[in-house]
Each structure stands twice: as structure tokens, then as C-alpha cells.
Amino acid sequence: MNPLQQPIAVGRTAEIIPFEDGKVLKLFFPTIPQPWIDKEVDTGRFIQDRQLPVPKVFQRLKLNDREGIVYERIEGPSLLSVLARKPWTVQRCARLLARLHARVHDVTAPPDLETQKEWARGGIPETNKLSKDLQERVLLLLDSMPEGNQLCHGDFHPGNIIVTRRGPVIIDWMTASKGVGCGDVARASIILEAAKAPERTPMRWLLEWIRQLFQETYLKTYFQLRPDQRNSFFAWRVIMAANFFVDVSLPEEEEHLITIIEQGFRSMAVS
């Protein structure tokens, strides 16, 4: 099959193109740094060997001066699509997400993987949307956090879980790091909060109720499975909210993130 047929999906870093024998080619844009691609290949092979439910990595190739990775083709809707079609399954979907996340954190990360603290620091000094005082407080908090050696996904949400005939499959490992499971959960909680329906969306109150129930069920289930991870949750929420400024553009999102940071510091001061 000709790998240069029409893409079936286009993301921020690459196009996904049908390949031969039930595979897909992830063809990166020329602007993507080589180390990012190296990391994705190495991480993909590592997690595949650890028996996590992930797409198989077959080979790496170069096509028209663009780097590519050939993956197993994963067929099925995302967990987000399932939730949109069947909102009454919200708690079941949230519990599934929590169980999968706990499985990821059961894996010891490869020693050469970027640390979670290095990754989280990346966006904080670069943003001008936080006051210098808050930046400094967040960075001091980050420096005080443990390193950890758990495998962390970095972008764990229902859109990155594909529901297949062989079960759920976790995709999109470009932001993987070595760190603390609780930090990864805190990042996921920020992503879930950022998924708020815009103002004047039809039935917004119902969508918000579903989103909140999903987040509450996900967190409750995860910490039931891994109660030892709960203690540093609010500290990591502060850090991940600050890191998330790189990905937001709406004033209301920025205000919400600053609220999370300020409330987090108040909670830690009280405790």
C-alpha cells in the first residue's frame, strides 16, 4: 500500500497515514525536533515490552526528508467518543481510566527517560501569565518534590484511550516521563477541568455535571487503588496548573488555573 495516501488524522506533531498490513505511519512534521522522535520510539518499544496495552512499534523510517514511525493500526472509538454517545456510562468510563492509569504507574520507568520535574518545569519560567512571585513559589515547591521512578504518561485523558476489540489501548506517549504517579494524576485532573463546555453551549449544565462526575469518580477510584499517592496531590496540582499555562489561550482558563494555584498554596499552608 502506498504510504503517501491521504492522512486519516492530523495532529500537532504529525500526520497519521494508512500503511501496509494493518499498520499506520506516523509521519512527523519537519519542525519536530529529533530528540522528541527518538524519545517516542524508545518509549514505545519500552512500554510494549512491559505488557502495557499500547500500540505495537514496528519500525522507524524516513520519507521525503521526514521522520516516521510505523505503528500497529488501532481500530475503535476513543473513550471520550464512547462517553459522548453514552453519557450514562460516565462512572464506568471514569473507573476504567483510573484503573489504566494505575497500571501505567506500576511500571518502573527507563532510567534515561526525562524526569517529571524537568518536564513540568519547562513551561513555568517561560510564561508571562503568572506573576514573578507565583512563578518563584511554584518553582520552589517543584524543587522540594520527590523525583520518583514511576512511568508517567503526561497527557492521560479519555481522548487518548482507544476502545478496541482486545480492550482499551493507551496512545500518544510523546510526553512520557519518569516521576511520581500522583503528579501524573494531578496533570490529568487539570486536563479534565480544562474540558469545560464554553458559555452558551446548549445543555451546558448537563455537560458540566457529567464532566464533574467523571473527574470525581476518576480521582476517587485512583486513590482507592493507590492510597499512598494521595498526600502530595494538592502540591502537584499547583505545579501542573502552572505548567498548563503553555496550553491555554482563553482568559477564563487562565483565571481558573491561577485560582487552582492560589487555593493550593492556601490548602498546604493550613495543613
Condensed to tens digits (0 to 9), the pLDDT of residues 86-115 reads: 999 999 999 999 999 999 999 999 999 999
**What pLDDT shows up at residue 252?**
73
Of 34, 53, 72, the position where a domain reaches its end is 72
Does 252 lie in the same domain as 164? Answer: yes
> For residue 68, what are the domain limits?
9-72
Does 83 lie in the same domain as 68? Answer: no
Number of domains in the chain: 2
Which CATH number is 142's domain given?
3.90.1200.10
Condensed to tens digits (0 to 9), the pLDDT of residues 67-92 reads: 999 999 999 999 999 998 999 999 99
Condensed to tens digits (0 to 9), the pLDDT of residues 152-209 reads: 999 999 999 999 999 999 998 989 999 999 999 999 999 998 766 666 666 676 788 8
pTM summary value: 0.89
Does 67 lie in the same domain as 96? Answer: no
Does 161 lie in the same domain as 218? Answer: yes
Q: Is residue 232 part of a domain?
A: yes
Does 68 lie in the same domain as 171? Answer: no
34 contact partners, CB below 8 Å, separation of at least 6: 67
Does 242 lie in the same domain as 117? Answer: yes
**What pLDDT shows up at residue 1?**
42
**What pLDDT shows up at residue 168?**
97
Does 186 lie in the same domain as 137? Answer: yes
pLDDT > 70 fraction of the chain, expressed in percent and rounded = 92
pLDDT tier at 7 (50, 70, 90 boundaries)? Answer: confident
Does 217 lie in the same domain as 233? Answer: yes
Q: Is residue 1 part of a domain?
A: no
Q: Is residue 3 part of a domain?
A: no
Does 186 lie in the same domain as 61? Answer: no
Does 266 lie in the same domain as 181? Answer: yes
Q: Is residue 119 part of a domain?
A: yes
Q: Is residue 165 part of a domain?
A: yes
**What pLDDT shows up at residue 237?**
94
**What pLDDT shows up at residue 258?**
87
